[in-house]
Amino acid sequence: MQLFVCRAPESEPGKVVARSLWFLISLLFVTSSVAENNIALNNDAEKKEAQKLYQQYCASCHATSRLGGMGPALLPENLKRLRKNKALNIIAKGRAATQMPAFGNVLTAPQRQLLVKYIYTPLENMPDWGMAEIRKSHLIHYQPASLSNQPVFKADMLNLFVVVELGDHHATLLDGDKFEPIYRFKTRFALHGGPKYSPDGRYVYFVSRDGWVSKFDIYNLKTVAEIRAGINTRNLAVSGDGKTILVGNYLPHTLVLLNAENLEPIEIIPVKDKNGKTSRVSAVYTAVPRNSFVIALKDIPEVWEMHYNDKRQFPVRHILLDDYLDDFQFDPSYTYLMGAARNAKNGQVINLNIGRKVADLELTGLPHLSSGITWNYKGRRVMATPNLKKSEISIIDMTSWKTIKRIKTLGPGFFMRSHENSPYAWADVFFGSNKEAVHVIDKQTLEIVKTLRPSPGKNAAHVEFDRYGKHVLLSVWDMDGELIVYNANTLKELKRLPMKKPSGKYNVYNKINRSAGTSH
């Protein structure tokens, strides 16, 4: 069972079942407030049965301990924004934009209710994960003095890609000129949030769902240090000066600062508002021009900005909002933050200089703003964002903040990508019966000019350009998957590389130079 993991369901039937459960929930809960309030397990027999169901259907993704694995932790502390009747919905029908399958035809209504009771029951002993536990997990595999300051292979070090292969928990370092693998190495289980590079591109930092942060030296092809910064973790960010890592956790409700050189912990920052309410962290990103980290919170309607300096001081600035921010994107100057909660309401625009909301965004469904991209269109800057629920891409004027067009697609999508040197934007159709399709959009006409179906029946998703914008890499998300290389101008297929469910691929140059065509 998986409630929140931001990955795609494997099949359309799971989505259909998901929509149907609203009717079931109305029968179970709308006419009775008792079921919502009487959530505790009634006796040892119920507890034993609930534990048995959980181990059979949920533990493989969420861990026997309920602390999270491939899926997030299933504890009351992590379910604050999910009402119990909606949790029943999700168990029965699955959840859009995740790998959470539908159990409506597998579990009876009483069994689903029992599972909901179980996951909303606090653990008898919540594990601590403070500074002592973090320090104890710290691993130094190689000392810097033992490693070469020159690459041990020949390639354009700025045109490399790191390809995450989710299928067997590996990553591949790829030559972006020859499109040949240089080195394949094992990663921690269930990487999440996308790897991040040091400012010079030598090091890449990974984080896993269960909180492990790993530092990989590209020059020497070695994992040099690791540390477990949380129990259930969202993502990490690298400061613009390359000195500090910030890790955002779902569990515990903390931010963790690490020394980027050796991953030594610096500080744990509890995430709470002025009234003491705690929150999971939705995402952390680096705003390099601002010398700061920007943090979105899952359970508190605030966005935080944390500046960094040579004195290793990290003051937190609280910006109060009208709504939550689960997902956001910056404008190129990093003055404006465009964000949305996953609640089907409009998005909002925050001016980070003045610290308040300045506009609403006309967005419905479930926009995936962190995968949004920007470009110049008819003399103005626009942002495009895919939608995890609706079959459309929204184009937003970044001066008026109005939606100027909605491009109809063959289904909801997960990722968009482009490059400053390319006339095209690429968008997948990650969810639904057309998951094999990828749209190519002309950035000046705002029209789909071609739809590719590289591997019929298999999910095609996540494009990344090489540093020059001349080539495009596309993933086929399958255990017997492939990385497909295209000419970015002619759209001609050039090469296929077999891989184990390749998900994201990340070009060094585009990332460290904050290309407007990719995520940051």
Q: Which of 319, 234, 320 is closest to 282 using CA atoms? A: 234
CATH number at residue 35: 1.10.760.10
Taking the C-alpha atoms of residue 19 and residue 22, their distance in angstroms, rounded to an integer, is 6
- Whether residues 313 and 197 fall in one domain: yes
Within-domain flag for 487: no
- pLDDT above 80 (res 343): no
Within-domain flag for 58: yes
- pLDDT given for residue 183 in this prediction: 98
Around 316, how many Cα atoms within 13 Å sit in the side-chain half-sphere? 18
- Whether residues 134 and 217 fall in one domain: yes
Within-domain flag for 499: no
Give the pLDDT band of residue 81 (cuts 50, 70, 90). low
Q: Which residues contact 141 (CB under 8 A, 6 or more apart)?
A: 222, 223, 224, 225, 226
- pLDDT given for residue 40 in this prediction: 67
Within-domain flag for 52: yes
- Whether residues 199 and 290 fall in one domain: yes
Q: What is the mean pLDDT of residues 19-39?
A: 34
Collect contacts of 184-191 with beta carbons under 8 A, ≥24 apart.
Answer: 185/216, 185/221, 185/223, 187/214, 188/212, 188/214, 188/226, 189/69, 189/70, 190/69, 190/70, 190/166, 191/164, 191/166
Q: Position of tokens 């240089």?
A: 182
Q: Which of 93, 99, 118, 102 is closest to 18 using CA atoms? A: 93
Within-domain flag for 371: no
pLDDT 10s digits, 365-376: 888 899 999 999
- Whether residues 307 and 259 fall in one domain: yes
Within-domain flag for 446: no
Mean confidence (pLDDT) of the chain: 89
- pLDDT above 90 (res 209): no
- pLDDT above 90 (res 300): yes
> How many structural domains are present in the chain?
2
- The sheet with strand 222-228 has its strands ordered as 139-140, 222-228, 212-217, 203-207, 196-197
- pLDDT above 60 (res 3): no
- pLDDT given for residue 235 in this prediction: 94
- pLDDT given for residue 97 in this prediction: 59
Rounded to whole angstroms, what are the CA distances from 191 to 28, 155, 183?
37, 26, 18
CATH number at residue 250: 2.140.10.20
- Whether residues 134 and 59 fall in one domain: no
Taking the C-alpha atoms of residue 339 and residue 347, their distance in angstroms, rounded to an integer, is 6
- Whether residues 150 and 290 fall in one domain: yes
Q: Which of 395, 393, 371 is closest to 382 using CA atoms? A: 395
Does the N-terminal peptide bond of residue 252 adopt cis geometry, omega within 30 degrees of 0?
A: yes
DSSP annotation of 280 reads -
Domain boundary among 119, 148, 167: 119
pLDDT 10s digits, 149-188: 999 999 999 999 999 999 899 999 999 999 999 999 999 9
More confident residue, 303 or 86: 303
Give me the phi and psi of 413, to 5 degrees please.
-130, 165
In 115-136, which positions are buried (b, 16+ CB within 10 angstroms) versus exposed (e)?
bbbbbbbeeeeeeebeeeebee
What the block records as the tokens of 186 is 């094992």
Work out the number of other CB atoms within 10 angstroms of the CB of residue 208: 22
Evaluated on CA atoms 417, 459, 179, 151, the torsion sign reads positive
- Whether residues 30 and 95 fall in one domain: yes
- Length of the chain (residues): 520
Rounded to whole angstroms, what are the CA distances from 400 to 13, 28, 51, 129, 304?
40, 45, 53, 45, 25
Domain boundary among 320, 337, 357: 320
Within-domain flag for 176: no
Distance of CA 497 to the CA centre of its chain: 25
- pLDDT given for residue 400 in this prediction: 97
- Whether residues 230 and 89 fall in one domain: no
pLDDT 10s digits, 430-472: 998 999 999 999 999 999 999 999 999 999 999 999 999 999 9
- Whether residues 152 and 297 fall in one domain: yes
Q: Which of 290, 333, 299, 293 is closest to 315 using CA atoms? A: 293
Domain boundary among 320, 354, 389: 320
- Whether residues 194 and 231 fall in one domain: yes
Q: Which of 293, 309, 306, 179 is closest to 235 using CA atoms? A: 293
Residue 211 identity (one-letter amino acid):
G
CB 283 within 8 A of CB 370: yes
CB 364 within 8 A of CB 350: no
More confident residue, 22 or 499: 499
CB 308 within 8 A of CB 292: yes
Within-domain flag for 502: no
Pairing relation of β-strands 438-442 and 347-351? unpaired
- Whether residues 211 and 305 fall in one domain: yes
Rounded to whole angstroms, what are the CA distances from 484 to 137, 373, 415, 468?
38, 22, 16, 17
- Whether residues 151 and 275 fall in one domain: yes
- pLDDT above 50 (res 22): no
- pLDDT given for residue 154 in this prediction: 98
- pLDDT given for residue 33 in this prediction: 31
> Domain range spanning residue 44?
12-119
Q: Which of 464, 469, 452, 513 is closest to 174 using CA atoms? A: 464
**pTM beyond cutoff 0.85:** no
CB 171 within 8 A of CB 181: no
Helices (H) and strands (E) counted in the chain, each on its own, are 8, 33
What the block records as the tokens of 52 is 């048995």
Pairing relation of β-strands 292-297 and 302-307? antiparallel
> Exposure of 482 by Cβ count < 10 A (0-12 exposed, 13-18 middle, 19+ buried)?
buried
